[in-house]
């Protein structure tokens, strides 16, 4: 069932973000994977790529649809989760374990400005 | 405001996720596309296809009139037989693809795509010479029950002997005490039935089938699974794989065209095309590099656009990224290779034998 951990940050585009040391791990929320349905393909950037907050960094596809992935913060990609690229269904199994990339943020304040859990869940409620 | 089928409340009750499809509020999925797809391949699944249209020709000359509008030949059918056919324009392009049912020579019943119902009716009315079509779409709901367990489930709810109803045959009878046209047809590649019934009885029939099928693993399915199931069979979807600019010969549907029958609309265009040879063909292909083909992605050969993907998905049963698209005839043979442009990147593809899915 729907699940939005309180120790994560969120975007209006349904990504989650979590601090892991100096980097920020990024994935998609429970709502995103539920709306997509079975995830069958994930296209991620290469380590070293620059991403910009609010802009596309990759693509996630279900059997029926293609959706873009949007970066929560600007910075450099320092890690890519090849396990999820190889087994995209992991996103449905547990969207919070299935991180996609880690970003070294250019500006640490970007992270703090993301939505907190109550704000994100309120946004979901108002959208349905 | 999207239209609702008589099963709208049933879909809500069963947790269907509703989307707009051709102006209808339809369930795209319930439990999920993949479990629904699997249920149809291994057990049974039910689809609300009440949005589809039904157009009838009745009276003396009905068969001849309908036969002049479609590519297949109802005069070669028995009463109680149905045929898949094209409804073509003068250029040989598809106005629609349809299933025509021969009750008898004075009663022909044609099932058409939801998005085309009005267009088809107008086309038929404008071109019918003596017997005028009647749009019966509001008089029928339609439930498809498909999968290896489907016949057993329906049989337990009817006294009609279903073993007498072969593929593309139909009869009339009661299912769960609901008066139906019982048609052994479908759009999934599995055995099964399409049941046409009065809208007021649709929910009763739906829940009776669901209840009866529960022990067999029968579940309600949405348009998502319907699309992945038909794509694995390379069954054409109007608006994607076929349209008014493509002919049955280009679409690999020469078998639904009977050029040796009496005249029909589009015949001379098809004769000319057959003589000249088709320059492009609808093929099935799989990607040989990571990615998923989708409708409208360009097909490239040596960096040049030579065609377009018309349907594509990750096939849940074939477990491959599969696609359908038009390519030049020279690239249409099994084993031919080209690229599909996915977000600016060429991804290698190879023409394969279709249907993509073969029963184990």
Whole-number pLDDT of residue A82: 96
Closest residue by Cα to residue B157 from B204, B106, B95: B204
CA distance B149 to chain A (A): 25
Task: Tell me the C-alpha distance between B228 and B355, whole Å.
Answer: 12
Token pair 């609808």 is at which residue? B282
Q: What is the pTM of this model?
A: 0.94
Residue A108: its pLDDT value, please? 87
Q: Are B54 and B67 in contact (CB under 8 A)?
A: no
DSSP string for residues in chain A: -----TTSEE-TTSEEEEEETTEEEEEE-HHHHHHH-SEEEEE-PPTT-EE-TTSEEEEEEESS-EEEEE-SS-EEEEEE-HHHHH-TTHHHH-TTT---EEEEESSTHHHHTSBPHHHHHHHHHHH-
Give the single-character DSSP code of B4: -
Chain A from 44 to 73: CB within 8 A of any B CB: 59, 61-64, 66
- The 10s digit of each residue's pLDDT in B38-94 is 999 999 999 999 999 999 999 999 999 999 999 999 999 999 999 999 999 999 999
With beta carbons less than 8 A apart as the criterion, state whether B49 and B6 touch.
no
Pairing of strands A56-62, A39-43: antiparallel
Which residue of chain B has the CA closest to A59?
Answer: B343
Strand partners, A94: none
Contacts of B321 in chain A (CB under 8 A): 41
Pairing of the two strands B134-135 and B53-58: antiparallel
pLDDT reading at B1 higher than 80: no
- Distance CA(B42)–CA(B36), nearest Å, equals 10
- Where residue A128 falls among pLDDT bands split at 50, 70, 90? low
DSSP strand pairing (A23-28 vs A15-20): antiparallel
Best residue in A38, A43, A88, A92 for a mutation probing chain B (most B CBs within 10 Å)? A38
A49–chain B nearest CA distance, Å: 17
Mean pLDDT over residues A54-65, rounded?
93
pLDDT in tens, B231-282: 999 999 999 999 999 999 999 999 999 999 999 999 999 999 999 999 999 9
User: From CA A11, how far away is CA A23, in angstroms rounded?
Assistant: 17
Cβ-based contacts of B41 with chain A (< 8 Å): none
Residues in chain A closer than 8 A to B314 (CB atoms) = 40-41, 61, 63
**β partners of residue B145:** B46, B193
Backbone dihedral region for residue B10 (phi beyond 0: left; psi -120 to 50: alpha; all else: beta) = alpha
Mean pLDDT, to the nearest integer, of A46-66?
Answer: 95
Residue in B with minimal Cα distance to A66: B294
pLDDT in tens, B206-222: 999 999 999 999 999 99
Dump pLDDT digits (tens) for A9-55. 999 999 999 999 999 999 999 999 999 999 999 999 999 999 999 99
DSSP per-residue string spanning B205-258: HHHHHHHHHGGGTEEE--HHHHHHHHHHTT---BTTTB-TTS-TTTTT-GGG--
């Amino acid at each position: 069932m729907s699940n939005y951990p309180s120790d994560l940050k969120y975007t209006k585009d349904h990504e989650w973000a979590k601090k892991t040391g100096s980097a920020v791990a990024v994935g998609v929320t429970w709502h995103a994977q539920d709306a997509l349905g079975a995830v069958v393909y994930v296209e991620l950037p290469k380590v070293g790529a620059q991403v910009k907050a609010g802009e596309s960094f990759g693509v996630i596809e279900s059997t029926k649809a293609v959706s873009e992935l949007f970066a929560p913060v600007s910075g450099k990609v320092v890690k890519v989760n090849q396990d999820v690229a190889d087994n995209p269904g992991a996103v449905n199994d547990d969207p919070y374990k299935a991180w996609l990339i880690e970003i070294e943020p250019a500006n640490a304040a970007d992270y703090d400005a993301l939505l907190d859990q109550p704000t994100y869940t309120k946004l979901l409620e108002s959208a349905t | 405001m999207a239209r609702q089928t008589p099963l709208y409340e049933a879909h809500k009750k069963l947790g269907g996720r509703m989307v707009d499809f051709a102006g209808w509020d339809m369930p795209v999925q319930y439990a999920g596309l993949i479990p629904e797809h699997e249920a149809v391949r291994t057990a049974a699944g039910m689809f609300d296809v009440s949005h589809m249209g039904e157009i009838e020709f009745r009276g003396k000359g009905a068969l001849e009139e309908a036969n002049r509008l479609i590519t297949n030949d109802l005069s070669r059918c028995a009463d109680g037989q149905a045929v898949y056919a094209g409804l073509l324009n003068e250029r040989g392009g598809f106005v629609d693809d349809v299933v025509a049912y021969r009750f008898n020579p004075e009663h022909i019943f044609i099932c058409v795509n939801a998005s085309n119902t009005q267009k088809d009716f107008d086309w038929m009315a404008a071109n019918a010479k003596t017997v005028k079509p009647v749009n019966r779409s509001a008089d029928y709901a339609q439930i498809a029950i498909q999968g290896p367990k489907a016949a057993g489930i329906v049989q337990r709810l009817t006294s009609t002997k279903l073993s007498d109803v072969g593929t593309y045959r139909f009869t009339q009878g009661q299912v769960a005490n609901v008066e139906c046209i019982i048609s052994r047809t479908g759009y999934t590649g599995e055995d099964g039935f399409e049941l046409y019934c009065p809208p007021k009885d649709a929910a009763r029939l739906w829940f009776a089938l669901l209840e009866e099928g529960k022990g067999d693993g029968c579940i309600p399915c949405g348009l998502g699974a319907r699309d992945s199931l038909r794509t694995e069979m390379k069954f054409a979807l109007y608006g994607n794989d076929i349209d008014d600019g493509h002919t049955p010969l280009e679409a690999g549907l020469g078998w639904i065209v009977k050029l040796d029958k009496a005249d029909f609309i589009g015949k001379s265009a098809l004769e000319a095309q057959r003589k000249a040879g088709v320059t492009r063909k609808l093929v099935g292909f799989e990607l040989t590099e990571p990615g998923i083909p989708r409708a409208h992605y360009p097909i490239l050969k040596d960096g040049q656009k030579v065609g377009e993907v018309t349907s594509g998905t990750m096939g849940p049963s074939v477990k491959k990224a599969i696609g359908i698209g038009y390519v030049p005839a020279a690239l249409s043979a099994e084993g031919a290779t080209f690229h599909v442009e996915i977000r600016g990147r060429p991804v290698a593809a190879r023409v394969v034998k279709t249907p993509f899915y073969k029963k184990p």
